[in-house]
Amino acid sequence: MADWATISSLATAAGTLVLAGASFASIRSADRAALSAERAVQASLRPLLIASRIEAPKQKLIWSDGHCTHLAGSAGYVRIEDDHLYIAASIRNIGPGLAVIHGWRLADHPTYADQAHPAPESFRPQLRDLYVAPGDTSFWHAAIRDRQDPDFAALLDPVKNRARINVDLMYGDYEGGQRTVSRLSLIPRHDDEDGWICQVVRHWNIDRPDPRARP
């Protein structure tokens, strides 16, 4: 004779197990959907800086001490004047989000492959907030006004001998996240004894996984 109490208990347990499995699958699906939505939002805020186009219009740059210059498209600028060193580059943002430049540093070596991103604490902060709108051309500029500064001494030789200068820029989205480091390479022009060309040769992620990471 069937034990209906036992059968009923087993049926209830089976139903509960099926319901738990369905709930677990639903939660996992919701988590995946939320993660995908979060990634989509982050992607829509993400900036990416490269050199501006050669045909980009000239920009007038003015430093806080009144020093100024006009910077053509895809150009760099390095000048020592009155014991002050001025450096700049014409850049554009090809990402969909606003870029906020946090700081800069001289790159130690001209090599790009198999190299970890520079430590965030090694960057010199910007004294002026610099923003680059999505899809727009803008500039980065900085100055060293102390000849005792190690970076001043490091730049004297390449400026005098017209050698390549590598500069790392650290920037992020307007919320302060998704920090990225892009390496600018300022290359002397052969047809202009004072001219420099700007190229961007490498990008590193700080707050996101490195897409070049090997398994």
Taking only the tens of pLDDT, the chain with its 215 residues reads 545 566 566 556 666 666 666 665 666 655 565 565 656 666 778 999 999 999 999 999 999 999 999 999 999 999 999 899 999 999 999 999 999 999 999 997 665 555 778 899 999 999 888 999 999 999 999 999 999 999 999 999 999 999 999 999 999 999 889 999 999 999 999 888 889 999 999 999 998 887 666 55
pLDDT of residue 146: 94
Asked if residue 162 lies in contact with residue 195, where contact means CB atoms within 8 angstroms, the answer is no
- 137 phi, psi to nearest 5 deg: -95, 140
- 58 phi, psi to nearest 5 deg: -65, 150
Q: For Cα atoms 69, 168, 99, give the angle at the middle one, nearest 5 degrees.
A: 75
- CA distance linking residue 10 with residue 25, whole number of Å: 22
Can you spell out the DSSP letters for 196-208?
EEEEEEEEEESSS
AA letter at 157: D
Asked if residue 133 lies in contact with residue 195, where contact means CB atoms within 8 angstroms, the answer is no
Six token digits for residue 44: 């829509």
For 114: left if phi > 0, alpha if psi spans -120 to 50, otherwise beta; the answer is left
- CA distance linking residue 12 with residue 71, whole number of Å: 76
pTM of this prediction? 0.81
Instruction: From 168, 169, 40, 175, select the one nearest 98 (Cα to Cα).
Output: 175
Query: Which regions of 2-135 does DSSP assign to beta strands (E)?
Result: 49-51, 59-62, 68-71, 75-81, 84-93, 99-106, 124-132
